[in-house]
């Protein structure tokens, strides 16, 4: 493209300080350096993690910053050493990476790349420790190596999944985070419930409902949704949730409620909130002997998981998972094909849409607990 090798000036939504509305600014986006790709973002969506680090409570604040990590776009140019992508490719930038060389990437059991695993504190590119974004010469920090709340962004090639150009980017972009995390979590890679088993889902946001959908497809007989927001319960039925528990409605810990409901505990549980108490409850509500609890949510940096060791000795299993155990470059293109083949539903997760100029509306919707994913149209 004619802009290759040049600084691009474009619009970006900049978070100048924690908890304050994003500001649409003109930013300069430098050309990609070694092993980097510059992408024209067409669609991006708001994930709870963006809100979490925008609010910056319980995390290390880093501002000014361009947030965003769930998106789809087209490669504008590539840097030195990039051989498997070229301008015009349709891609999903991913908040974690796959260098294809480290022990984790070479293992069939892990997607925790040594070089490119998630780092929420890093605000610069790995190659030279510098930002590719600036305003009047002042650097603006990156977020998760993606920073998709910008019309153009620069991403390490290991964090870019090349996908079918026929796939609608305004749908499949949600696979770059939440829907892959949830859909890979239950049926395929981690919890692996057997047909007829029971599953408890803690948190009925987009990731939790993707997990519920996966449990339904796997043949779970009971899917118990746990959430503090009762307005989510009706919508959750569409994703296979059969029963609902609001911890505020009970005078005992919710894990005890679920154990009583199920005659000993659920076979599998999934925690999707980031609340340390929800994590403990998710573990303590699974059945002894065979129950498996899987943690997905991002906790505060100072949180500590506390439970009695006998809960482990009684053969309950506690697992963590990361991005549904998918390797970004290797696995995500195939997940996109599942959508193209109508084996995976995504459309019902996208409940709102706003133009880029109204990106703060997406934050308002999420903070109010309304909807699941709000699609942000970069060209509007």
Active site residues: 47-49, 69-70, 99, 102, 105, 113, 117, 177, 373
The answer for 211, left when phi > 0, alpha when psi is -120 to 50, beta otherwise, is alpha
Query: DSSP string of 304-325?
Result: -----THHHHTT-EEEE-SGGG
279 in Cβ contact with 306 (< 8 Å): no
- Six token digits for residue 34: 């070694």
Residue 106 CB burial class (10 angstroms; 0-12, 13-18, ≥19) = exposed
Spell out where the chain has E strands.
Answer: 8-14, 23-29, 36-45, 70-78, 90-93, 133-135, 138-140, 152-156, 160-162, 198-202, 222-226, 243-245, 268-271, 292-295, 317-320, 350-355, 373-377
Residue 290 CB burial class (10 angstroms; 0-12, 13-18, ≥19) = middle
CA-based diameter of the chain, in Å? Answer: 66
Cβ atoms within 10 Å of 289's Cβ, excluding its own: 10
């Amino acid at each position: 493209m004619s802009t290759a090798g040049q600084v691009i000036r474009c619009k970006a939504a900049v978070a100048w300080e924690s908890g304050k509305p994003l500001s649409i600014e003109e930013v300069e986006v430098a050309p990609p350096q070694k092993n980097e790709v510059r992408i024209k973002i067409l669609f991006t969506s708001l994930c709870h993690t963006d809100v979490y680090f925008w609010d910056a409570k319980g995390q290390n604040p880093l501002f000014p910053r361009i947030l965003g990590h769930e998106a789809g776009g087209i490669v504008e140019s590539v840097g030195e050493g990039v051989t498997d992508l070229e301008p015009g490719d349709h891609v999903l930038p991913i908040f974690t990476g796959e260098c294809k060389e480290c022990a984790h990437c070479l293992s069939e059991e892990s997607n925790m790349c040594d070089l490119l695993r998630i780092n929420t504190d890093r605000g610069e590119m790995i190659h030279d420790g510098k930002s590719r974004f600036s305003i009047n010469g002042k650097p603006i920090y990156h977020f998760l190596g993606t920073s998709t709340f910008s019309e153009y962004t620069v991403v390490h090639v290991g964090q870019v999944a090349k996908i079918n150009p026929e796939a609608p980017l305004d749908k499949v972009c949600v696979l770059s985070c939440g829907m892959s995390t949830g859909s890979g979590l239950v049926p395929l890679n981690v919890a692996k419930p057997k047909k007829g088993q029971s599953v408890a889902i803690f948190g009925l946001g987009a990731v939790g409902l993707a997990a519920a959908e996966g449990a339904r497809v796997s043949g779970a007989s009971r899917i118990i949704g746990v959430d503090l927001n009762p307005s989510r319960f009706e919508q959750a039925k569409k994703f296979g949730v059969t029963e609902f528990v609001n911890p505020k409605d009970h005078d005992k810990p919710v894990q005890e409620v679920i154990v009583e409901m199920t005659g000993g505990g659920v076979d599998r549980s999934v925690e999707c909130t980031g609340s340390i108490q929800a994590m403990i409850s998710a573990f303590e509500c699974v059945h002894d002997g065979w129950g498996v609890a899987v943690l997905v949510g991002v906790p505060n940096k100072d949180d500590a998981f506390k439970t009695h060791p006998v809960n482990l000795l009684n053969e309950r299993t506690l697992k963590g998972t990361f991005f549904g155990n998918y390797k970004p470059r290797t696995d995500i293109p195939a997940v996109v094909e599942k959508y193209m083949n109508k084996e995976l539903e995504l459309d019902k997760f996208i409940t709102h849409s706003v133009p880029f100029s109204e990106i703060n509306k997406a934050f308002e919707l999420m903070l109010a607990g309304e909807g699941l994913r709000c699609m942000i149209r970069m060209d509007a």
